[in-house]
Amino acid sequence: MKTFPMFLQMQGRRVVIAGGGEQAAQKCRLILKTDASITVLALSLEPELADLHAQGRIDWQASSISASDFSEAALVFIATGCPAADASLHALAKDAGATVNVVDQPDLCDAITPSIVDRSPVVVAIGTEGTAPVLARQIKTRLEETLEPRLGDLAALAGRLRDRAAARLGPRVRRDLWRWVFAGPARDAHARGGERKAAEMIKQAIDTATFGQDSAGSVALVGAGPGSKDLITLRGVQRLQEADIIYYDRLIDPEVLDLARRDAERVYVGKAPGCHHWPQDKISSVLVAAARQGKRVVRLKCGDPGVFARGSEEADALTTAGIDYEIVPGVTAASAASAALGGFLTERGTCDTLVLATGHSEVAGTNPDWIKALHPGTRVAVYMGVGSAPQIAKALKTAGLEDCVSIDIVSRAQQKDQVISRCRASTLIETIQTDGILNPAIVFLTWPHFATKTEAERGDLPFKILA
């Protein structure tokens, strides 16, 4: 090891940053995470630093610089962006005996800033002694995925309860206790947002000196996003990695399932349109049964679990069975499809109302009636719409909207074989056939505010990228 990692005490200490541009602002952002007071030495400040100064969060010294400006500093950053200025400021700071970091000049550095995973008070610093910064960032990304965002709060809670544990439990039991806290249901409850519940569990474990027998399972209804594995949320990946068993849908991409632990059980509960191998009540009951066995269950649904995903039926069954569940949102198909078009779901002044509708309802007597929602300035995203294309075309024709509503179709949005098409109601069926549009697809119906005259002038394109 040519460098040695240490955590510097920053409370009540001073950090000096020489430079008033972007490089200095970057270092400032980093040090603002700490309790140190910051002095910036620069003739002028770029806007972010100027704002921080106006807010009183940093001190600014614009007069000429001497060695004494660097004395008593816990750390000095030289970040002017000009190598010659950096070199002379470095010499001054060294005269003052400071520990110095000169941006992008490793040879002049006493200290190198690591890549940081910040779950304060849990902080991971990754360094490669300047050999492979890209590797450091890759490691950081992995850790960001693995360590839940609220981990720091759990560590802080444990810190607050240390005295209570020390007063009641011997050292060996205390070690077991903390092992249980960080590997067991208290951490799970905390990660899912149940801070009070986690605190109660830990306090009870301390007071009764019993822990480790808690066998309550849990269920997370997780949105997998539209199919590509980098469009699931970090929280979704976290739940997949914790899961003992995963019940997944038809539209789940195998790449997303690969994000789960290798030894997690995977159960396909897919429902192809029209043929229901796994009726909904059977899915609900296997979720309840697995949780009752103490398993950590993930119910993985494509897109967002709250959009046409029958999430509420599963949630009701879990509530009735007294089982806690958590909903982890996902990127819904309409968002994915709109991004694939290079467009935006809403566009100020053009399309201010967004309606999510289904082209297909299984509940008798509740045929989707999205046509009533269509007004100027509205975009309807029809899910499961390919099979109902004839009804869509007919409804638009009957309502006399064939000319003012544009249709964009995105099949397999954000997947390798994505297909995009654009047409009018009169050519919808033909377009679906000739372009080979298959499910899953989103059919966007857009009636922009500028329909008619201006529409023609603007090229008749609600999703502007296609212009």
Q: Which residues are known to be catalytic? A: 249, 271
The two structure tokens encoding residue 137: 């960032």
Contact 453/332 with Cβ under 8 angstroms?
A: no
Cα–Cα dist 84/82, whole Å = 6
Q: Shortest Cβ distance from residue 31 to ligand SAH (Å)?
A: 41
In sequence order, the 6+-apart residues with CB closer than 8 A to the CB of 243 are 220, 260, 261, 264, 296, 297, 298
Contact 3/23 with Cβ under 8 angstroms?
A: no
Nearest to 124 by CA among 160, 102, 152: 152
Specify which residues 131 forms β-bridges with. Answer: none
The backbone torsions φ and ψ at residue 100, rounded to the nearest 5 degrees and listed phi first, read: -120, 140
Q: Shortest Cβ distance from residue 410 to ligand SAH (Å)?
A: 6
In the region spanning residues 240 to 259, those forming contacts with ligand SAH, defined by CB under 6 A, are: 251
Q: Shortest Cβ distance from residue 432 to ligand SAH (Å)?
A: 13
- Given the rule CB under 6 A, which of 13-21, 200-208, 292-300, 333-341 is the region that contacts ligand SAH? 333-341
Should residue 303 be labelled a site residue for ligand SAH when binding is judged by CB under 6 A? yes
Should residue 333 be labelled a site residue for ligand SAH when binding is judged by CB under 6 A? yes
In the region spanning residues 172 to 211, those forming contacts with ligand SAH, defined by CB under 6 A, are: none
DSSP labels for 334-362?
A: HHHHHHHTT--S-BTTTB-EEEEEES---
Helix (H) or strand (E) holding 366: none
Should residue 315 be labelled a site residue for ligand SAH when binding is judged by CB under 6 A? no
Q: Shortest Cβ distance from residue 224 to ligand SAH (Å)?
A: 9
| Shorter beta-carbon distance to ligand SAH: residue 148 or 304 | 304
Kind of pairing, strands 115-119 and 122-126? antiparallel
| Shorter beta-carbon distance to ligand SAH: residue 371 or 384 | 384
The tokens 């599963």 sit on which residue? 314
Should residue 297 be labelled a site residue for ligand SAH when binding is judged by CB under 6 A? no
Should residue 439 be labelled a site residue for ligand SAH when binding is judged by CB under 6 A? yes
Q: Shortest Cβ distance from residue 337 to ligand SAH (Å)?
A: 5
Q: Shortest Cβ distance from residue 314 to ligand SAH (Å)?
A: 13
Should residue 445 be labelled a site residue for ligand SAH when binding is judged by CB under 6 A? no
Nearest residue by C-beta to ligand SAH?
A: 303
Selected binder of ligand SAH within 236, 368, 377, 440 (CB under 6 A): 440
Should residue 337 be labelled a site residue for ligand SAH when binding is judged by CB under 6 A? yes
| Shorter beta-carbon distance to ligand SAH: residue 76 or 442 | 442
**One-letter amino acid for residue 287 of the chain:** L
Selected binder of ligand SAH within 194, 226, 343, 377 (CB under 6 A): 226
Residue 302 burial (CB < 10 Å; 0-12/13-18/19+)?
buried
| Shorter beta-carbon distance to ligand SAH: residue 75 or 340 | 340
In degrees, rounded to 5, the angle at the alpha carbon of residue 144 between the alpha carbons of residues 142 and 146 is 70
Selected binder of ligand SAH within 243, 441, 445, 451 (CB under 6 A): 441
In the region spanning residues 83 to 142, those forming contacts with ligand SAH, defined by CB under 6 A, are: none
Should residue 308 be labelled a site residue for ligand SAH when binding is judged by CB under 6 A? yes
In the region spanning residues 355 to 414, those forming contacts with ligand SAH, defined by CB under 6 A, are: 383-384, 410, 412-414
DSSP 154: H
Selected binder of ligand SAH within 102, 317, 374, 442 (CB under 6 A): 442
Selected binder of ligand SAH within 304, 326, 408, 460 (CB under 6 A): 304
List the end-to-end C-alpha distance of the chain, in Å, as a whole number.
57
| Shorter beta-carbon distance to ligand SAH: residue 353 or 418 | 418
Selected binder of ligand SAH within 23, 101, 284, 332 (CB under 6 A): 332
Should residue 462 be labelled a site residue for ligand SAH when binding is judged by CB under 6 A? no
Long-range contacts of 118-124, Cβ-Cβ distance < 8 Å, separation of 24 or more: 118/33, 118/152, 119/147, 119/149, 119/150, 119/151, 119/152, 119/155, 120/33, 120/152, 121/152, 121/155, 121/156, 121/159, 122/147, 122/151, 122/152, 122/155, 123/7
The tokens 């910051």 sit on which residue? 38
Selected binder of ligand SAH within 42, 103, 186, 302 (CB under 6 A): 302
- Given the rule CB under 6 A, which of 56-64, 83-91, 301-309, 361-369 is the region that contacts ligand SAH? 301-309
Tell me, by CB under 6 A, how many residues bind ligand SAH.
Answer: 25
Should residue 227 be labelled a site residue for ligand SAH when binding is judged by CB under 6 A? yes
Residue 143 burial (CB < 10 Å; 0-12/13-18/19+)?
middle
Distances (CA, A) of 120 to 80, 185, 417: 29, 21, 42
Residues lying near ligand SAH in the complex (CB under 6 A) are found at 226-227, 251, 301-304, 307-309, 332-333, 336-337, 383-384, 410, 412-415, 439-442
